[in-house]
Structure 1
Amino acid sequence: MKLIVGLGNPGAKYANTKHNVGFMTLDQYADAKNVSLLNEKFNGLYVKTRINGEHVILLKPLTYMNESGQAVGEYARFFKIAPADILIIQDDMDLPLAKLRIRESGSAGGHNGIKSVIAHLGTQDFLRLKIGIQHPKREKVIDWVLTPFEKDDAALMQHSYSVAQGALDDFIAGVSVQELMNKYN
């Protein structure tokens, strides 16, 4: 079984903010697969489904970004999912806008949601799909990540979400991490 987690903050106030690209990517992927994350368990909205013949859980933690690992850890333990079968979709300020990067493991790089996931899984060895939101030029980081994209940027991000769907399909299909990195980085 695979666990795909979109990181973000719940609630209308945060719905279209840069910090919620994980939620937005996962929502669009779920829509494309004709499933809805309507079930609630362990502080997360989820759907357990089959995609291309594989068992998959799509999850949006409801604990707010900084405590995302609580839900991820609970799902991993309850459904007995190994870290190698987990993919986290996250925003990344160090990447140019809409750029995708697959990363196999490593530190949180200052991302509090990833810090929480590492703490609750007890390992850094899980796959990340990073989506660039670029670094703010003048704003404070907290103000930057909690604001919506400009209209022109939102259109560019839509393309990024579409490309990300292919990466999720490939992950579910068991494509190797190296092949994923070669194809999407």
Structure 2
Amino acid sequence: MKLICGLGNPGREYERNRHNIGFMVVDALLGRARADLNQDKFQARVGQGTLAGERILFVEPQTYMNLSGRSVAEAARFYKIAVEDVLVIHDELDLPLGRLQLKAGGGSGGHNGLKSIVSSLGADGFIRLRFGIGKPEGPNARERVAGYVLSNFDDGERRELDALSDRAIDMAECWVRDGLATAMNRFNRKA
């Protein structure tokens, strides 16, 4: 069994925020896996399905971003899922919109959801699907990051999201079926 987690914040007011792209991709993945998030466990919405012939536990933490690790760690421990069998889909400021990247391990890059997962799992070797959202530019850009990630995608960006989500789904499925090295070689080129 593998665990696929999408990061985001619960609640309608956050539904379309850049920070919630992990939830959006997992919601789209559920269709391919013929699954539903039909249980509330581990302080998360969870469900099981099959992707590329493998049983998958889908997790959307409901703890808000900064405490996402609690849900991921509880679910992984309960189902005895190894750290390297955990895929976390998250927004990435350091990649432009349209750029998606798979990687294993690494730091949090200032992402509080990743920081929480590393802390709660006690390891950073989980797989990340980094979904580029770009970042604010210009003066005081650093101070505007929180507002930026909690803002909705604009109309032009929304038009790109379906194709990008489809690509993210293909990446996750390839990781499940063929492993990380193959998925990285196939998908980590610039789009």
Please report the TM-score for the alignment, with normalisation by the length of structure 1.
0.96
Partner of 1:145: 149
Q: How well do the aligned residues superpose, as a CA RMSD in angstroms?
A: 1.1
Kindly provide the amino acid, as one letter, of the partner of residue 181 in structure 1.
M
Q: Name 1:83's counterpart in structure 2.
A: 83
- Partner-residue secondary structure (3-state), 1:183: helix
Say which SS state the counterpart of residue 148 (structure 2) adopts.
helix
Q: Could you tell me which amino acid in structure 1 is paired with residue 31 of structure 2?
A: D
Within the alignment, does 1:180 sit opposite 2:171 as a pair?
no
Deviations along 1:123-155, whole A, 9 cap, x unmatched? Answer: 110100000000112560111000100111111
- Runs of 5+ unmatched residues, structure 1: none
How do 1:150-169 and structure 2 match up within 5 A?
150-169=154-173
Q: How far 1:169 moved relative to its partner?
A: 1.1
Which AA in structure 1 matches 2:97?
L
Per the TM alignment, residue 32 of structure 1 is displaced from its structure 2 partner at its CA by 3.0
* Runs of 4+ with deviation above 3 angstroms: none
Q: Secondary structure, in 3 states, of the residue corresponding to 2:36? A: coil
Shift of 1:54: 1.3
CA distance in 2, matches of 1:127, 1:24: 18
- Separation (CA, whole Å) in 2 of partners of 1:142 and 1:163: 26
Residue 7 (1) aligns with residue 10 (2) = no
| Contact persistence 2:9–2:20 (CA under 8 A) | yes
C-alpha contact 2:6 2:23 (8 A) present in aligned 1: yes
Residue-by-residue CA offset, 1:77-103 (whole Å, 9 max, x unaligned): 100000010000000000011210111
Equivalent residue for 1:37? Answer: 37
**What is the distance in 1 between the residues matched to 2:121 and 2:59?**
15
SS at match of 1:88: strand
Aligned residues: 184
CA distance in 2: counterparts of 1:145 and 1:128, whole angstroms: 18
How much has 1:27 moved relative to structure 2?
0.3
Q: CA deviation at 1:51?
A: 2.6
